[in-house]
C-alpha cells in the first residue's frame, strides 16, 4: 500500500505538426477505477498531472483488484498535419487494464496464446495474446470465441463489456465458458469491445484483456458489382471479398506510418489464403482509385518515379506523371489537368 507508478497515455493516431519536428499535441485523458462488478472502486487512486492529463500517477490504497478504464477527448490542433480535427477515442477501444494490490497471480500459467502462422516464434512472450494488437474479428451477431488451455486446476470466468456511447462492465460470469476433456477452455460471446478473462487457481487470479470487433463483407463479381447476400456461386467463379469495419491493430506513431497488415485464412483442409499485405506506405489504400503523380523540380525530370510508385503500391490505376519546372505558370498546370479528361 502507498506504492505508486506512472501511467502514460498515447493517442492511437498521434497528432503531429510535420514530419520534420514531429511535435505532438495531446488530448485530455480521463481515468475511471471500477470494482470487478462494474461499480466504483478506491483500490487505487489515479491523479493526472496538472499540466498534462495523459501523464498520471496511480497509487495503491488498500488490498483488492480493480478495473481501470482510460479514455481521451476530441481535440482541435490547428497546426495538425493532415487536418486539425481529431476525434475522441471510440467507445469500443476504451483502454482497459486490471490492477491487483496485495495479490500476485503472475505465477499462474494462463497459456493465453494466439496462433501466429507467419511469425518465426523465438521466445515464449511472442505466443501470448496482446490485448491491444491481437483483435479477434468476427462476422455475424454471435461474437468471437477464444480457446486456450491454462494449467491444470484453473477456473475461468469472463467479464464481457457492453458498448454504447461508453463502455461498461457488469461483473464476471461462467456463462458461455466451456471446458473440454483435455482442459481446453473456450469463451464465446465476445462482441465488439474489450473483455476480461479471470483465471483463478489456489485463491489467486490472473487477468487477460481481449479485444473483439465485428466486421461484415461483400462479394464483388468480375464486373465490380456487389452480389446479393444469398447469391449462389458456381465452381470456377472468381469473386473479390470486400470487408467493412476492419481496423489496423498498429496505428500511426508520431511521423511513422502504421505498419501494413493482411488477412490470413485457413480452411478446413489447412490451406492458407492471405491478402496482399499492402504497400510500404502503410496508411494509403489505392485500390479502386486513379493516381496521377506530379512534381515540381528545378533540375531533373520525373523519370521513373510514377512507375516505381505504382510498383510499390501494387494497386490502383496509375497514369503517366508530369514534372513542372519552376517557370511553369498556372495556365500550364490548368492545361495539363484539363487534358487528363478526368
Q: What pLDDT does residue 108 have?
A: 96
* Sheet containing strand 167-169, strands side by side: 135-138, 204-214, 193-201, 155-163, 167-169
Q: What pLDDT does residue 91 have?
A: 97
Closest residue by Cα to residue 99 from 56, 148, 146, 151? 56
Q: How far is CA 164 from CA 103, 117, 172, 251, in A?
A: 33, 34, 19, 23
Percent of the chain clearing pLDDT 70 (strictly above)? 89
Q: What pLDDT does residue 122 have?
A: 82
For residue 215, with 0-12 CB atoms within 10 Å meaning exposed, 13-18 middle and 19 or more buried, which class applies? middle
Pairing assessment for the beta strands 193-201 and 204-214 based on DSSP bridges: antiparallel
Q: What pLDDT does residue 249 have?
A: 72
Low-confidence ranges of the chain (pLDDT < 70): 19-22, 82, 250-261, 276-288, 299, 312-315
Dist. CA 47–CA 205, nearest whole Å: 26
Strand partners, 186: 147, 178
Dist. CA 61–CA 40, nearest whole Å: 14
Q: What pLDDT does residue 61 have?
A: 96
- Which residues does 338 contact at the CB level (< 8 Å), separation at least 6? none
Dist. CA 84–CA 80, nearest whole Å: 5
First to last CA, the chain: 68
Tens digits of residue pLDDT in 41-75: 999 999 999 999 999 999 999 999 999 999 999 99
SS (H, E, C) 267-305: CCCCCEEECCCCCCCCCCCCCCCEECCEEECCCCCCCCH
Q: What pLDDT does residue 102 have?
A: 93
Q: What pLDDT does residue 260 have?
A: 61
Residues 110 and 206: beta-carbon distance below 8 Å? yes
Q: What pLDDT does residue 326 have?
A: 79
Q: What pLDDT does residue 321 have?
A: 85
Residues 297 and 291: beta-carbon distance below 8 Å? no
What are the backbone dihedrals phi and psi of residue 310, each rounded to the nearest 5 degrees, phi first? -65, -40
Amino acid at each position: 500500500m502507498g506504492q505508486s507508478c506512472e501511467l502514460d497515455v498515447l493517442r492511437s493516431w498521434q497528432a503531429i505538426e510535420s514530419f520534420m519536428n514531429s511535435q505532438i499535441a495531446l488530448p485530455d485523458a480521463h481515468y475511471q477505477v471500477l470494482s470487478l462488478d462494474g461499480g466504483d472502486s478506491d483500490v487505487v487512486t489515479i491523479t493526472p498531472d496538472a499540466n498534462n492529463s495523459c501523464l498520471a500517477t496511480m497509487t495503491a490504497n488498500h488490498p483488492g483488484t480493480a478495473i481501470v478504464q482510460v479514455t481521451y477527448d476530441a481535440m482541435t490542433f490547428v497546426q495538425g498535419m493532415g487536418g486539425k480535427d481529431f476525434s475522441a477515442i471510440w467507445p469500443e477501444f476504451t483502454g482497459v487494464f486490471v490492477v491487483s494490490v496485495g495479490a500476485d497471480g503472475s505465477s499462474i500459467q494462463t497459456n493465453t496464446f494466439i496462433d501466429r502462422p507467419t511469425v518465426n516464434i523465438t521466445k515464449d512472450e511472442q505466443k501470448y495474446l496482446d490485448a491491444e494488437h491481437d483483435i479477434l474479428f468476427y462476422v455475424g451477431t454471435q461474437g468471437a470465441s477464444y480457446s486456450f488451455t491454462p494449467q491444470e486446476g484453473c477456473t475461468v470466468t469472463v467479464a464481457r463489456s457492453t458498448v454504447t456511447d461508453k463502455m461498461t462492465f457488469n461483473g464476471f460470469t461462467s456463462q458461455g465458458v466451456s471446458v473440454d476433456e483435455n482442459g481446453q477452455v473456450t469463451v464465446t460471446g465476445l462482441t465488439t469491445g474489450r473483455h476480461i478473462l479471470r483465471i483463478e487457481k489456489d485463491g489467486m487470479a490472473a487477468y487477460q484483456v481481449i479485444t473483439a470487433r465485428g466486421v461484415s463483407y461483400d462479394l464483388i463479381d468480375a464486373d465490380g458489382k456487389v452480389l446479393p447476400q444469398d447469391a449462389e456461386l458456381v465452381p470456377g467463379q472468381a469473386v473479390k471479398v470486400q470487408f467493412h469495419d476492419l481496423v489496423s491493430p498498429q496505428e500511426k506513431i508520431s511521423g511513422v506510418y502504421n505498419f501494413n497488415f493482411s488477412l490470413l485464412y485457413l480452411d478446413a483442409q489447412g490451406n492458407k489464403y492471405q491478402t496482399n499485405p499492402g504497400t510500404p506506405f502503410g496508411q494509403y489504400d489505392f485500390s479502386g482509385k486513379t493516381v496521377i503523380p506530379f512534381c515540381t523540380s528545378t533540375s531533373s525530370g520525373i523519370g521513373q518515379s510514377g512507375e516505381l510508385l505504382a510498383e510499390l503500391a501494387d494497386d490502383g490505376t496509375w497514369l503517366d506523371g508530369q514534372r513542372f519546372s519552376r517557370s511553369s505558370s498556372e495556365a500550364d498546370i490548368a492545361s495539363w489537368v484539363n487534358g487528363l479528361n478526368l
